[in-house]
């Protein structure tokens, strides 16, 4: 992908939460770039900082969060560069719908039960200067068709008249009302059954290909990540420990943690009996361990890993890893993963 199609550039970003025991390092010096039309999946265990990272990108962090260092630059379709961390409150409101929209973790149940779907669209459209109600309606119906909802029925419905999967698609359509360039989805398929999940993924991929936006999405389901993503980032204890093209990440992982996550998926392991879950649990983010934060759980760890922090280095042009023992990880991966 060319350098000039970067939509979002994140540099050295950290987020701390103030807690009674002291600052908790939820995101620690993360850097990555998101390109036009690219789908980036974030994977990693619960509590590794995925939601914190995407909330920071949208400036939606709770009040006890601090951003001690880092930069987020966003490039609009007409080539203007926005410094997201320095944006005024007023500009931020427009940014959140017109440039970068987010569908929240658990938002399914957050729809106001007494507000019809059409009024959510009218309110959002009006707040963002979309002109006439007719224009909002037309755009909404078009989006409903794209997400495979019965346009007229859903437009006039109350949330409780819709299934979970339909509400999720309503929220995706609402996020797209102002034609954003980036859509962030935090666990879009977690609260729904497997068939509904299938529909949502199909719909998302179809609509992405038609409208051409970029996606950052979080999913605990690695099969979903494998199917939807162009690029996958593995997060551990607030850091990106490996990032690369989806096939590289799933078939040639260079980090012990990425390999550990993959070995826990039945379909990617060579033999069912070789399935292993990663021993231990993630570290305390208030007093993180020295060296590589994963070393205590890592089967590849050597003495150095407990002393020195491995930098994120290039495996090749598109694939980066933070591991001193990457050569041994990839050798093991070649044995265990069937390409
Ligand atoms: N408002 C807060 N105050 C203090 N700590 C917080 C707050 N929100 C999150 N944390 C902590 O920050 C860390 C990162 O949390 P985050 O929600 O970003 O993880 P996550 O990867 O999204 O997890 P999950 O997969 O469970 O959604 C966790 O240790 C969490 O306990
Ligand atoms: Mg989360």
Q: What average pLDDT does the chain have?
A: 91
Does the domain at 3-229 match CATH 3.10.129.10? Answer given as no
pLDDT of 3 > 70? The answer is no
> What is the atom index within ligand 1 of the atom nearest the CA of 235?
21
- What mean pLDDT do residues 93-98 have? 90
pLDDT of residue 242: 98
Q: For the range 263-270, what are the long-range contacts, defined as Cβ-Cβ under 8 Å and sequence gap of 24 or more?
A: 263/336, 265/222, 265/223, 267/223, 268/222, 268/337, 268/338, 269/336, 269/337, 270/336, 270/337, 270/338
Q: From the CA of 45, how far away is ligand 2's center (Å)? A: 9
Helix (H) or strand (E) holding 32: strand 22-35
pLDDT of 43 > 90? The answer is yes
Span 100-124, pLDDT tens digits: 998 875 666 667 888 999 999 999 9
Residues with CB under 6 A from ligand 1: 17, 19, 24, 26, 46-52, 62, 64, 285
Q: From the CA of 120, how far away is ligand 1's center (Å)? A: 29
> What is the atom index within ligand 1 of the atom nearest the CA of 282?
29
Q: From the CA of 139, how far away is ligand 1's center (Å)? A: 35
Q: Among 98-102, 218-222, 231-235, 265-269, whose mean pLDDT is lowest?
A: 265-269
pLDDT of residue 106: 61
pLDDT of 269 > 70? The answer is no
- What mean pLDDT do residues 1-13 have? 84
Span 245-264, pLDDT tens digits: 999 999 999 999 999 999 88
pLDDT of residue 105: 59
Q: From the CA of 266, how far away is ligand 1's center (Å)? A: 27
pLDDT of 207 > 60? The answer is yes
Nearest CA to ligand 1 atom 28: 47
pLDDT of 16 > 80? The answer is yes
pLDDT of 221 > 90? The answer is no
Q: Where in the chain is the domain with CATH 3.40.50.300?
A: 3-229
Q: From the CA of 106, how far away is ligand 1's center (Å)? A: 14
Share of the chain above pLDDT 70, in %: 92
Nearest CA to ligand 1 atom 2: 17
Nearest CA to ligand 1 atom 26: 46
- What mean pLDDT do residues 62-91 have? 96
pTM above 0.85, yes or no: yes
Share of the chain above pLDDT 90, in %: 73
DSSP 159-218: GGGS-HHHHHHHHHHHHTTT--SEEEEESTTTTS-HHHHHHHHHHHHHHHHHH--EEEEE
């Amino acid at each position: 992908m060319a350098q000039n199609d970067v939509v979002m550039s994140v540099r050295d970003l950290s987020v701390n939460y103030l807690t009674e025991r002291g600052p908790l390092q939820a995101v620690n010096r993360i850097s990555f770039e998101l390109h036009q039309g690219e789908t980036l999946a974030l994977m990693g265990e619960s509590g590794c900082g995925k939601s914190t990272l995407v909330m920071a990108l949208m400036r939606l962090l709770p009040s006890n969060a601090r951003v001690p260092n880092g930069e987020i630059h966003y490039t609009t379709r007409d080539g203007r560069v926005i410094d997201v961390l320095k944006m005024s409150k007023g500009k931020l409101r427009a940014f959140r719908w017109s440039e970068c929209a987010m569908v929240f973790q658990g938002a399914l149940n957050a729809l106001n039960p007494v507000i019809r779907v059409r009024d959510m669209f009218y309110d959002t459209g009006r707040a963002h200067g979309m002109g006439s109600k007719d224009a909002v309606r037309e755009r909404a119906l078009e989006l409903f068709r794209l997400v495979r909802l019965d346009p007229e029925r859903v437009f006039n419905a109350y949330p409780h008249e819709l299934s979970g999967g339909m509400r999720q698609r309503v929220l995706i359509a609402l996020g797209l009302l102002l034609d954003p360039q980036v859509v962030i989805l935090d666990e879009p398929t977690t609260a729904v059954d497997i068939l509904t999940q299938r529909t949502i993924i199909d719909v998302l991929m179809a609509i992405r290909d038609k409208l051409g936006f970029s996606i950052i999405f979080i999913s605990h389901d690695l099969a979903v990540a494998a199917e939807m993503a162009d690029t996958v980032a593995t997060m551990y204890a607030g850091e990106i420990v490996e990032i690369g093209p989806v096939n590289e990440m799933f078939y040639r992982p260079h980090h012990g943690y990425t390999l550990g996550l993959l070995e826990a998926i039945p379909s990617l392991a060579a033999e069912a009996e070789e399935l292993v879950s990663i021993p231990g649990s993630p570290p305390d983010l208030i007093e993180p361990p020295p060296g590589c934060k994963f070393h205590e759980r890592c089967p590849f760890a050597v003495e150095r890993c407990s002393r020195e922090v491995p930098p994120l280095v290039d495996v090749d042009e598109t694939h980066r890893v933070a591991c001193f023992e990457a050569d041994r990880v990839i050798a093991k991966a070649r044995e265990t993963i069937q390409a």
